[in-house]
Amino acid sequence: MISSEVSGASYPARLTSPARWRAEVLLVAGVSLGQSAVYAVVRLADMLTRAPLKDSTAGLNHSQSTREVFDLVYQLLGIGFTLVPVALALYLMWLDGQGSVLERLGLGRGVGRGGAGPDAGCGVDPDAGRGAGPDAGCDARGGGTASDGVLRDGARRAAWGDAWRAVGLFVLIGAGTLVVYAAGRALGVTAQISTNNLNAAWWTVPVLLLQAVKNGVLEEVLLLGFFWDRLEKLRWSPWAIIVGLAVFRGSYHLYQGFGPFVGNVLMGLIFGWLYMRRRRVMPFVGAHFLLDAVGFLVPGILRG
């Protein structure tokens, strides 16, 4: 029999301790974006000691093999393993025992934690919402209101709202990115960015789109979902979280130069402020996907 007492602290207490949350932040960052930030700083130093940044090139999406089939396999393996930290983060949040992880991230049928969608309050407190009418509260099956039609309508509205917000963010951030990149190149503080270095193959476009999906899920679920949740539990103020995560976002783009660092910090500030208002991750995942998809595909289309 395993004792529930470890070093004088009960097991449930250890599950909700600040030490645990700090360790989770460091460990998840260490196997994902934090590792990328360290490499980005080293690569920036390497570039700066070789030539001026304006004469340097930062490449993305490189081929891994001269043989087409194995290159595809390597690309898919890389995408899959890169998303493992996201699965780890979701699992750690599930261990909290604080309801649906998807609902906490605003990935469920209604609005995020800050709103009042059709399924707000259901699945957490069986007595929540009872009282005003025949459809009030949760039904006997649990996890929804008494009206499936209301749930479907709420899910549809939430999905369309997320999609439109993603498009709006894409336009806003995309325009800003072009301005920051052009200014950085003119000032000599940004490397030339080559976004597609894959060999031409039938699978090149699908893989680039999968890379864009991977980047959106990895960065936004970890930054706005997991890290935000943990820093909030550690009693960071909302603006400390926004600024801290924005600087972190910029740090793992330093291999592209100082311009992309500034641009991604600004993007992080905008994303963080907007996420704080609605607590839904999907608009930011969608916007990030659109930004990367266009960035990966359009240069090749224009060249050819």
- Return the pLDDT at 153: 77
- Return the pLDDT at 152: 75
Residue 1 DSSP label: -
Q: What is d(CA 70, CA 257) in angstroms, rounded to the nearest whole number? A: 32
Among residues 275, 273, 268, 230, the alpha carbon closest in space to that of 248 is found at 268
pTM of the model: 0.83
- Return the pLDDT at 146: 52
Around Cβ 41, how many Cβ atoms within 10 Å?
Answer: 14
Give ∠ CA 180-185-47 in degrees, rounded to 5. Answer: 115
- Return the pLDDT at 25: 98
Sign of CA dihedral 229, 234, 237, 243: negative
- Return the pLDDT at 105: 86
Chain position carrying tokens 């080293």: 42
Report domain extents, the chain.
18-114+148-303
- Return the pLDDT at 134: 40
Amino acid identity, position 134 = P
- DSSP code string of 81-144: HHTHHHHHHHHHHHHT-SS-HHHHTT-SSS--TTS--TTTTTTT-TTTTTTSSTT-SB-TTSSS
Mean pLDDT of 1-25: 66
- Return the pLDDT at 302: 78
- Over 50: is that where the pLDDT of 297 sits? yes
Band (106; pLDDT cuts 50, 70, 90)? confident
Q: What is d(CA 159, CA 143) in angstroms, rounded to the nearest whole number? A: 19
pLDDT digits (tens, 9 = 90+) for 185-212: 999 999 999 999 999 999 999 999 999 9
